[in-house]
């Protein structure tokens, strides 16, 4: 109770709990045998809670979340108003739809949370074993506390984050998979500290006296800073550095190791797995922002309608004729309507507000949620983006951004593993200034000179030892090792190498092929086989790779006792730190490799004296056991030993492009998406890859912002480039920026850099850090036009830009799955990006855009009649629709078709979208949710409401009867006819908008249209108040009205006329727009349909200028109409009839060109504009963003005077 009150007071007073910078953990809860005083720290238990609600908190928390939405909160206020005032309609009309929407959402969220509770219980109650005294005790997983010694057996999942103490392996090693954490399925090796590896049983562990000091929990999976102190009697404690290599994380699974022991350091919600499971910052789509604006606009329109009705009621009540209205005056006086008091005016205002409030679509949110969720499910089911070779299907980590895939304007992509395969193969190397190339498993020099055997041996030894590769030996069926005799150097299948970096594996594999075979690699030594001899090198230290140093090193002791430093890294680092060796030749060779698109590394070594090593060891021990600023201190020590190096050589490793990368980038560029490549590779390699993948094209002029020493020179270079662009704006520019220059530009000239880069066709940034990638994304994201950005990558270094961009895409590559986990959508191949954006993105956006606008349209068409009726009812706040109709319009009679539409609609076929990437431009910048589109839909709804109301009113003019017995109809009949017209009309309107029909769409339409008369018949055919005694059914005004009204043929004729008249304006508008102002997609669809409907393969276009003839021919291999307007190439040769080189199908005569062709406009001519003959031989690309032409073509034609064949170039605008 006291702790609860303390937490309550801290919360109310906004006091933060004091948390120490580091945590101290006593192993097995035994304080160290010292006189030091330690404060007891409280840690959470190992309970995992992924659920959002409990039985107590579900109702208030869920209701709070739902009523944060504008529409839900609005209808709650309206429902309360209806209960507080003399409402003109039953409060049930607002309460029932609101309850339905809230209930559906609550049930969905409750079910999802119940599944989370179920999963939590399964994990929390999993049997676990801990050390209790000298025995092993079984407990539930949630009962583990920090400091417990936990025993984990093979194939078991680790229950908490634990520091490895020992294992069945005498060297303290164990193997785990971390697929639940980062998606990597390869085995990873973890090692215990040397002081605790011998503690392999319960008795020895019970005697352990140790203390762990480490940082507080943080989510980085690959970082851990701590130290462990081992205490023995009457001796100073030995302090060891603890790194991520010694810490096993919750969610990992133990493999190939019978058992391990570890001490729990992070439990429950403080584990790294739990911290990484926390939700990312919420991203919002453009549709959601537009929808909120629409809601605000509709609320303003509602207030305007309500104010008009209230003002006119006040004016009419004071007209002279009202005093003579014997049937109105007494009631008005009794209610005080004629007093004009503020209370009366406010009450009237609220009454009209309730009467007109149905203009806001209450079921909009729940419909869109269902559409998005099911759309994301279909995304994963698409076989066209399924990788059968790797058995990987696409994955949607969110459904909130589906439509945003159709809005991308800038794409930022990593290179390695995203554009390339990340499958490294050794190709060339440079040793002692001599170039070598691999041929048939051997190194062959490219000239007569060769390196000395000693230099070659040392270089290959550096390849075989400078790494963090782990060796796995193939096991026989009986569990014994394969023979390891003298043939080990040639039996390359004997050893299997596992590495976190594909580069390292490629280099170790290469050394094996060249005769230096790595046979074992532990934390204490490395063994290599050279010339049939097994040589063991003592591994003293591993200085891991750091993006700041751009290198890694190992310190070894040779069999003869010498200490050596082996170092590898980027040429910018290694060459600068080398004092001997063929530096100039190596730099030339590295640049040559880079121009060939190879990834380069340089290798060097250094001999250390024993005193130098001892000094370094002492400094390293001090830095590695520090808890504050450990990384900075370690880098400082590393830089001491990684100096005065002797250059050994360099390597060139090939990373092939993925299939379809050039075609994908070209399609994205045609779609209007600008592609920026952000990579950490060196400039020459990155530029070469950009050319090979068609990111850069030969005609582009490259602007090189590289090697800028300071901000002033960087600014001068940027201004010079801007002036160059202004002087020659027709040239296509490509920008190359390196990391140091980018730093100066972002620091001092960010606006200039943004203007320059955004006017370039392509941008390449090289030698970048992960943080700089995110800064570049932010540079474009927050520019003046606020373009929609997308980032795609495959590695942990891409996470920052993936999370910064509007949309983040992950590639399921070979660098782990951290990028996939942090992304919004993920798939395995870069080429799938075309279908993801051009097809799924276009479909998602079109569906949601029409859904949102259709909802507002149908509500305006429905409830506006209520406003018009007020003018004919003396603004008496009388409703024309029964409460039953008001209640079920949105949640029953018009809800199912639009839901199915939003799931299955395909306004353009996938084949056409893929064939014509330019169509993607039509939907960018939220084009279908513009204010002009909004006005069109709302105006259409208003026109339909006017026609429905006044045409129906004509039926009742002068009390004319529509029955032979002259029976008259009343207000309820008027409302019923209007309601029938509205239900039929809005559903037919959706049919007009539907382009893709299947049985689900047809069934939803049938259920909606037929469900209306069925439910209405049930409601109006029985006096339900006599059955239920509910006040909702306390009126009989609609009893049998539906049956009586719809008996008349005149009523059905009126309904037919109303529907036809209502659809006529829309038909006229669409027809004029199609024939006189067609969009490019409409042009494509018409030509596509015309091509496939024509039995001949050739479709002729007669152009009215000089009798030119264009032919669109059918591709023989794809069967898709290969028109000039559809080609992805911007300058394409179009064959005329005179120069046909394609075969005509059998039975189809080859068309001939008339000698004097008439200038006749063909049926297929799209009417977009004109044909502009241009008689210059060379016309560049037509790539104007704002006024795009339809293409540039070379045409062969015949003159009328001498029948000579000529060639010219025309641009179709």
Give catalytic residue positions.
414
The strand pair at 599-608 and 563-569 is best described as antiparallel
- Left, alpha or beta for 36 (phi > 0: left; psi -120 to 50: alpha)? beta
Termini Cα distance of the chain: 79
Length of the chain: 1213
Torsion of CA 319, 325, 331, 337, to 10 degrees: 0
CA dihedral of 20, 26, 32, 36, whole degrees rounded to 10: 10
Count of CB atoms situated within 10 Å of the CB of 152: 26
For the beta carbon of residue 174, count every other beta carbon within 10 angstroms. 28
> Rounded distance, CA 359 to CA 125, Å?
52
* Spatial separation of the C-alpha atoms in residues 27 and 196, rounded to whole Å: 12
Separation between Cα atoms, residue 270 and residue 490, nearest integer Å = 49
Residue in 1027, 1008, 1212, 1029 with CA at minimum distance from that of residue 1108: 1212
State the residue for tokens 């030509």: 1087
Cα–Cα distance between 310 and 877 in angstroms, integer? 10
Of 1113, 1103, 1115, give the one whose Cα is nearest residue 1166.
1103
Report DSSP state, residue 281: P
Residues 611, 612, 616: CA angle, nearest 5 degrees:
115
Distance CA 910, CA 462 (A): 53
CA separation for the pair 559, 536 (Å, rounded): 7
**Lookup: tokens for 485:** 């005799």
**Cβ–Cβ under 8 Å, residues 977 and 1051:** yes
Taking the C-alpha atoms of residue 169 and residue 257, their distance in angstroms, rounded to an integer, is 7
CB 151 within 8 A of CB 254: no
Please give the Cα distance from 534 to 517 (Å, whole number).
Answer: 9
Structure tokens at 1103: 């152009």
3-state SS assignment for residue 237:
coil
- Answer for the pair 762, 675: CB distance below 8 angstroms, yes or no: yes
> Three-state secondary structure along 188-228?
EEEECCCCCCCCCCHHHHHCCCEEEEEECCCCCCCCCCEEE
CB atoms within 10 A of CB 697: 15
Q: Are 1127 and 1191 in contact (CB under 8 A)?
A: yes
CA proximity to 45, closest of 199, 202, 159: 159
CA torsion through residues 1059, 1060, 1062, 1067, sign: positive
One-letter-per-residue 3-state SS of 662-721: HHHHHHHHHCCCEEEEECCCCHHHHHHHHHHCCCCCCCCEEEEECCCCCHHHHHHHHHHH
State how far the Cα of 1017 lies from the Cα of 1032, in Å rounded to an integer: 17
What's the Cα-to-Cα distance from 137 to each of 128, 134, 258, 589, 856, rounded to whole Å?
A: 8, 10, 18, 63, 64
Residues facing 162 on adjacent strands: 248, 264
**416 token code pair:** 């390695």
Distance CA 1156, CA 1153 (A): 9
Distance CA 926, CA 288 (A): 11
CB 1089 within 8 A of CB 1081: no
For residue 1164 the two structure tokens come to 């297929």
């Amino acid at each position: 109770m006291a702790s609860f009150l303390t937490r309550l007071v801290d919360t109310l007073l906004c006091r933060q709990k004091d948390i120490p910078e580091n945590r101290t953990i006593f192993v097995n809860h035994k304080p160290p045998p010292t006189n030091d005083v330690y404060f007891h720290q409280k840690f959470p238990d190992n309970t995992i809670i992924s659920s959002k609600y409990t039985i107590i908190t579900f109702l208030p928390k869920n209701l709070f979340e739902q009523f944060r939405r504008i529409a839900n909160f609005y209808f709650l206020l309206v429902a309360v108003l209806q209960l507080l005032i003399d409402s003109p309609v039953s409060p049930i009309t607002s309460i029932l739809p609101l309850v339905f929407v809230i209930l559906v959402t609550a049930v969905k969220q409750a079910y999802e949370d119940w599944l989370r509770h179920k999963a939590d219980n399964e994990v929390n109650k999993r049997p676990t074993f801990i050390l209790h005294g000298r025995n092993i005790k079984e407990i539930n997983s949630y009962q583990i506390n920090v400091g417990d010694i936990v025993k984990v057996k093979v194939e078991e999942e680790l229950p908490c984050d634990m520091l490895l103490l020992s294992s069945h392996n005498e060297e303290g090693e164990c193997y785990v998979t971390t697929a639940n954490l980062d998606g990597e399925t390869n085995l990873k090796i973890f090692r215990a500290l040397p002081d605790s590896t011998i503690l392999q049983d319960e008795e020895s562990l019970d005697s352990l006296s140790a203390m762990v000091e480490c940082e507080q929990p943080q989510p980085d999976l690959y970082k851990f800073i701590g130290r462990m102190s081992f205490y023995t009697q009457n001796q100073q404690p030995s302090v060891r550095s603890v790194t991520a290599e010694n810490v096993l994380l919750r969610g990992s699974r133990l493999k190939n190791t019978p058992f391990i022991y570890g001490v729990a350091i992070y439990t429950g919600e403080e584990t790294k797995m739990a911290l990484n499971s926390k939700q990312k910052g919420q991203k919002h789509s453009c549709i959601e922002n537009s929808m909120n604006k629409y809601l605000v606009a509709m609320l303003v329109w509602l207030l305007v309608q309500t104010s008009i009705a209230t003002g006119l009621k006040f004016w009419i009540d004071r007209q002279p004729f009202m005093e003579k209205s014997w049937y109105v005056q007494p009631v008005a006086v009794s209610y005080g309507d004629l007093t004009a008091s503020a209370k009366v005016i406010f009450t009237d205002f609220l009454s009209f507000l309730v009467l007109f409030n149905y203009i806001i679509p209450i079921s909009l949110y729940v419909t869109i949620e269902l559409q998005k969720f099911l759309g994301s499910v279909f995304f994963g089911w698409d076989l066209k983006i399924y990788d059968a070779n790797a058995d990987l299907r696409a994955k949607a980590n969110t459904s909130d951004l589906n439509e945003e895939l159709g809005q991308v304007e800038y794409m930022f992509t990593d290179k390695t593993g995203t554009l390339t395969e990340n499958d490294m193969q050794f190709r060339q190397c440079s040793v002692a200034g001599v170039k070598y190339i691999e041929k048939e498993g051997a190194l062959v020099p490219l000239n007569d000179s060769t390196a000395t055997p000693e230099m070659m041996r040392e270089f290959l030894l550096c390849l075989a030892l400078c790494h963090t590769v782990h060796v796995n030996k193939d096991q026989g069926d009986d569990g014994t090792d394969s023979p390891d005799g003298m043939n080990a150097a040639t039996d390359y299948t004997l050893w299997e190498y596992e590495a976190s970096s594909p580069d390292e594996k490629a280099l170790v594999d290469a050394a094996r092929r060249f005769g230096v075979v790595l046979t074992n690699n532990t934390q204490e030594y490395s063994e290599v086989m050279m010339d049939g001899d097994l040589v063991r090198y003592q591994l003293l230290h591993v200085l891991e790779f750091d993006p700041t140093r751009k290198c890694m090193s190992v310190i070894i002791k040779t069999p003869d006792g010498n200490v050596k430093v082996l170092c590898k890294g980027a040429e910018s680092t290694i060459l600068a730190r080398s004092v001997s060796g063929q530096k100039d030749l190596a730099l030339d060779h590295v640049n040559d490799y880079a121009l060939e698109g190879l990834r380069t590394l340089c290798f060097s070594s250094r001999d250390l004296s024993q005193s130098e090593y001892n000094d370094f060891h002492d400094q390293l021990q001090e830095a590695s056991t520090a808890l504050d600023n450990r990384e900075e201190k370690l880098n400082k020590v590393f830089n001491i030993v990684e100096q005065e190096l002797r250059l050994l050589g360099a390597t060139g490793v090939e990373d092939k492009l993925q299939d379809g990368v050039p075609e994908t980038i070209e399609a994205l560029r045609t779609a209007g998406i600008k592609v920026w490549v952000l990579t950490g590779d060196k400039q020459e390699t990155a530029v070469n890859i950009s050319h090979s993948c068609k990111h850069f094209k030969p005609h582009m002029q490259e602007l090189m912002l590289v090697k800028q020493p300071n901000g002033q020179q960087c600014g001068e270079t940027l201004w010079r480039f801007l002036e160059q662009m202004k002087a020659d704006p027709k040239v296509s520019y490509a920008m190359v920026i390196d990391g140091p220059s980018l730093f100066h530009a972002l620091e001092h000239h960010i606006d200039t850099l943004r203007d320059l880069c955004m006017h370039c066709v392509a941008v390449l940034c090289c030698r970048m850090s992960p943080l700089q990638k995110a800064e570049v994304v932010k540079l474009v994201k927050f520019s003046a036009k606020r373009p929609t950005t997308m980032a795609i990558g495959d590695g942990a270094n891409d996470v920052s830009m993936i999370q910064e961009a509007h949309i983040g895409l992950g590639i399921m590559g070979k660098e782990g799955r951290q990028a996939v986990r942090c992304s919004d959508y993920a798939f395995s191949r870069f080429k799938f990006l075309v279908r993801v954006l051009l097809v799924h993105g276009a479909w998602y956006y079109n569906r949601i855009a029409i859904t949102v606008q259709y909802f507002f349209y149908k509500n305006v068409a429905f409830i506006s009649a209520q406003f018009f009726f007020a003018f004919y009812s003396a603004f008496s706040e009388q409703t024309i629709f029964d409460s039953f109709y008001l209640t079920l319009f949105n949640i029953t009679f018009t809800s199912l078709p639009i839901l199915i539409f939003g799931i299955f609609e395909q306004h353009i076929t996938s084949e056409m979208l893929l064939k014509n990437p330019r169509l993607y431009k039509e939907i960018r910048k939220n084009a279908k949710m513009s204010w002009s589109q909004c006005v069109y839909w709302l105006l259409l709804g208003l026109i339909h409401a006017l026609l429905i109301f006044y045409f129906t009113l004509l039926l009742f003019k002068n009390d004319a009867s529509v029955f032979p017995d002259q029976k008259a109809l009343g207000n309820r009949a008027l409302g019923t006819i209007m309601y029938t017209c509205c239900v039929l009309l809005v559903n037919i309107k959706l049919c007009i908008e539907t382009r893709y029909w299947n049985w689900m769409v047809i069934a939803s339409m049938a259920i909606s249209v037929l469900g209306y008369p069925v439910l209405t018949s049930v409601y109006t055919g029985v006096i339900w108040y006599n059955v239920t005694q509910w006040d909702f059914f306390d009126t009989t005004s609609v009893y049998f009205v539906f049956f009586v009204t719809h008996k008349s043929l005149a009523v059905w004729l009126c309904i037919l006329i109303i529907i036809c008249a209502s659809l006529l304006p829309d038909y006229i508008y669409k027809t004029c727009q199609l024939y006189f102002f067609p969009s490019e997609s409409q042009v494509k669809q018409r030509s596509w349909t015309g091509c496939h409907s024509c039995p001949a393969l050739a479709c002729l276009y007669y152009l009215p200028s000089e009798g030119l003839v264009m032919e669109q021919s059918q591709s023989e291999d794809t069967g898709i109409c290969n028109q000039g307007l559809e080609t992805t190439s911007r300058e394409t040769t179009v064959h005329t009839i005179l120069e046909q080189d394609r075969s005509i199908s059998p039975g189809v005569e080859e068309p001939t060109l008339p000698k004097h062709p008439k200038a006749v406009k063909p049926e297929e001519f799209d009417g977009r504009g004109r044909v502009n003959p241009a008689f210059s031989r060379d016309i560049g690309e037509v790539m104007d963003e704002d006024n795009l032409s339809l293409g540039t073509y070379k045409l062969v034609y015949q003159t009328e005077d001498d029948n000579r064949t000529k060639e010219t170039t025309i641009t179709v605008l």
